[in-house]
Chain A
Amino acid sequence: MTQKLTRPGPGSGAPDPKRRGDRVFRGFAMGAGILILVILALVAAFLLIQGSPALFADPAKLISQGYGEFLPWVLPYAFGTIWAAILALVLAVPVAVGIALFISHYSPRRLAQPLGYVIDLLAAVPSVVFGLWGSLVLAPAARPLYEWLSANLGFIPLFSGTVSGTGRTIFTAAIVLATMVLPIITSLCREVFLQAPRLHEEAALALGATRWEMVKMAVFPFARPGIIAAVMLGLGRALGETMAVTMVLSGTRNITFQLLTSENPNTIAATIAQNFPEAFGLKTSQLIAAGLVLFLITLVVNMIARWIVSRRAEFSGAN
């Protein structure tokens, strides 16, 4: 009310010069915000413009000058992208939830923050270093494990087939991917676990629940949407991660669920990275169109995740 009174009335003549600065500054701030929306729209638009020659080209022309007809060409890579990401999540999610719980509810209180930093360090390691480590260190080290899996569990279709001689399989790539998405899932889960209502936790403990029962009854039900969102965000990251797969896999264009052989499905991102430097003309367009497909897949996954997060923020009864 008082603010309204101090403001100059609508009919008070010349605008206050001080307020003009205000309008300009507000305009700049708003412009920057709108620019971000425009950039995101432009990303889609430019990929569409530059990729459209391949999207709408005559299939015969694509076969002669490009990599082949678009949909049959891109589908195996889309499969590889999703398959590798799902494998990575299967490996990463249980560990990430465990780490987040360890930091939020199990470790000594004074250690919680330093331990969080340690996990964040994993996120700080550049992807190209993980790729180097995955192909030169992890792959040879994991080969004995693959041989054991193949010899003893080979009846499961996942582990069937001849074991790759280098160890550079989609399973290795999935382990590297899992390591890379681990810190993202962990940090989000940790945040959600820390927000679990303190009173519920204390009530559970006061009724004689053990620590694990308290976590099951008071923390998990509260944190479930947050965990789902964290997993979706991890999925988005795993879908788009390039270098780990590019450097670990020498992928081919096939659809297979076998984890340990040398015939591995490649991902969209890795295919672009491997072929783009040498591509020209229609091939470039085709790779950009593949990038558009990847962009749309991750966009949908991320939008669902963010929608879950924002919906939860509104209804959370955290106190």
Chain B
Amino acid sequence: MTTITHRLGSETLTAGRLPKATIPVAIAASAVLGYALAVLASGTADIGLAVLFAFLLFLVVIEITTRVVEGARQAADRRAGNLIAGAFLLALVPLGSVTFEAVSNGLARFDLAFFTQSMRNVVGEGGGAVHAIYGTLYVTGMATVISVPIGLLTAIYLAEYGVRNRLSKAITFFVDVMTGVPSIVAGLFAYALIGLLLGPGTRSGFEGSIALSVLMIPVVVRSCEELLRLVPNELREAAYALGVPKWLTIVRVVIPTAISGIISGVILAIARVIGETAPLLIAAGFTASLNNNLFANPMMTLPVFVYDSYAHPGTDVQVYWDRAWAGALTLILIVMILNLVGRLIARRFAPKTGR
């Protein structure tokens, strides 16, 4: 008796399942075969082609073995799982490539001169981006000064005063629509606005700030509103119970509770707009010299510097492209640092999810 049940049990438990070693073995085998196929097909050992062949081989091998051993449903499950994991790995390719190219090409000019000199009177080698870095700081700083009060006050209205009334619904809807305004349209808006006020053709850093604000305000509103809603209602009720008026409750209780999240939201919003090129190309313009006046004359910014170096090179193209890559590397570093700082601050306030 016992022997029979034992045998039966062991059979039903392991029958119809692929052994655990299948996946690693299949990966190794298809990697080797894929590489061989790539060499055969193109003559050279192209990594991209080899990986592609290996992935396709892996899909086929798993499909056949699973279908034979485990059946069609399991095969479909594994196929979907492999394709989904493949999609994720595929997305890492551009991220890795952009980072690698920016670092390897950007380091050539990532030197002291790049951060201490402008492009004034520079033709060919040398020169730097200090005028563009200053410009980016001025323009983005001014955009922050404009956007944060408007964005924060709107978020307060949405979260505290106009809960679910028609105006707040309209504002929420159009703030969402505003996040989709093309960046170049924001630049055209700033140009048209200043053009009407100060005469056509004017370009200044402040004009760039207006353009960036149009892009930044919706981001600030969304993140601040979300955070204000996370503040527990008990805190507000406790303040009301003590006779504190609503506005003081907001200023003294609600905002201090949410402040770390608000700061991180603002930092992330800055990171979102600091790399914008098209609006600044139109509103702030180009210049080769340092301009410390936000309200007059064109002002260079880092993204426009990268674009300008790439698109209008002199006779020695490589020199200009090296500068463009160095500018791109600086820009990536700034954005990454801002993102990191923002997320570190936000971690304290992360809402808990079920998973």
Q: Which residues of A contact B (CB under 8 A)?
A: 18-19, 21-22, 24-26, 28-37, 39-40, 42-43, 46-47, 49-50, 94-99, 101-104, 106-107, 109, 112, 115, 117-122, 124-133, 135-138, 141, 179, 182, 186, 194, 198, 210-213, 215, 233, 236-237, 239-243, 246-247, 269, 272-273, 276-277, 280, 284, 287-288, 291, 294-295, 298-299, 301-303, 305-306, 309-310
Contact check: which of A24, A30, A186, A233 meets B161 at CB < 8 Å? A30
**Contact between B184 and A236, CB atoms less than 8 A apart:** no
**Contact between B195 and A194, CB atoms less than 8 A apart:** no
Contact check: which of A102, A194, A269 meets B88 at CB < 8 Å? A102
Contact check: which of A46, A129, A240, A243 meets B181 at CB < 8 Å? A240
Within residues 199 to 254 of chain B, which ones have a CB less than 8 A from any CB in chain A? 200-201, 214, 217-218, 221, 245-248, 250-251
B95 at the interface (CB under 8 A from A): yes
Q: How far is the CA of A247 from the CA of B179 in the complex (A)?
A: 24
B108 at the interface (CB under 8 A from A): no
Contact check: which of B102, B154, B343 meets A129 at CB < 8 Å? B102
B256 at the interface (CB under 8 A from A): no
B98 at the interface (CB under 8 A from A): yes
Q: Which 8 A-B pairs have the closest CB atoms?
A: A240-B182, A126-B275, A98-B87, A32-B153, A25-B247, A302-B180, A29-B157, A210-B77
- Residue on A with the closest CB to B309? A132
**Contact between A36 and B182, CB atoms less than 8 A apart:** no
Q: Is the interface of A mostly helix, strand, loop or mixed?
A: helix
Q: What is the interface size of chain B, counting residues whose CB is below 8 A from a CB of the partner?
A: 99
- Residues of the B chain whose Cβ atoms lie less than 8 Å from the Cβ of A104: 355
Q: How far is the CA of A243 from the CA of B308 in the complex (A)?
A: 12
Contact check: which of B180, B188, B335 meets A298 at CB < 8 Å? B180
CB-CB under 8 A for A40 and B177, given A210-B76, A211-B77: yes
- Residue on B with the closest CB to A141? B48
> Chain A interface: which of B5-13, B53-61, B123-131, B323-331?
B323-331
Give a binary string over B172-186; 1 marks a CB under 8 Å from any A CB, 0 the rest: 011111111111111
**Contact between B328 and A272, CB atoms less than 8 A apart:** no
**Contact between A36 and B87, CB atoms less than 8 A apart:** no
Contact check: which of B48, B95, B153, B281 meets A273 at CB < 8 Å? B281
- Residues of the A chain whose Cβ atoms lie less than 8 Å from the Cβ of B85: 102, 106
Give a binary string over B94-137; 1 marks a CB under 8 Å from any A CB, 0 the rest: 11011001100000000000000000000000000000000000
- Residue on A with the closest CB to B355? A109
**Contact between B173 and A306, CB atoms less than 8 A apart:** yes
**Contact between A243 and B221, CB atoms less than 8 A apart:** no
6 A-B pairs with C-beta separation under 8 A? A98-B88, A117-B343, A124-B336, A126-B335, A277-B282, A305-B180
Contact check: which of A31, A121, A306 meets B177 at CB < 8 Å? A306
Q: How far is the CA of A202 from the CA of B241 in the complex (A)?
A: 44
- Residues of the B chain whose Cβ atoms lie less than 8 Å from the Cβ of A109: 355
**Contact between B154 and A128, CB atoms less than 8 A apart:** no
Known: A212-B81, A291-B184. 11 other contacts (CB 8 A): A30-B157, A36-B154, A95-B87, A101-B84, A106-B81, A125-B332, A125-B335, A131-B310, A132-B328, A133-B94, A211-B81
Measured CB to CB, the closest approach of chain B to A315, in angstroms, equals: 16
Contact check: which of A21, A37, A133, A277 meets B97 at CB < 8 Å? A133
Q: How far is the CA of A246 from the CA of B336 in the complex (A)?
A: 24
Within residues 274 to 290 of chain B, which ones have a CB less than 8 A from any CB in chain A? 274-278, 281-282, 285-286
Q: How far is the CA of A84 from the CA of B250 in the complex (A)?
A: 47
Q: How far is the CA of A16 from the CA of B40 in the complex (A)?
A: 87
- Residues of the B chain whose Cβ atoms lie less than 8 Å from the Cβ of A276: 281-282
- Residue on A with the closest CB to B92? A118
- Residues of the B chain whose Cβ atoms lie less than 8 Å from the Cβ of A182: 91
Q: How far is the CA of A198 from the CA of B101 in the complex (A)?
A: 43
**Contact between A30 and B167, CB atoms less than 8 A apart:** yes
- Residues of the B chain whose Cβ atoms lie less than 8 Å from the Cβ of A241: 182
- Residue on B with the closest CB to A235? B180
Measured CB to CB, the closest approach of chain A to B174, in angstroms, equals: 5
CB-CB under 8 A for A32 and B98, given A39-B217, A40-B178, A50-B195: no
Q: How far is the CA of A213 from the CA of B79 in the complex (A)?
A: 12
**Contact between B282 and A273, CB atoms less than 8 A apart:** yes
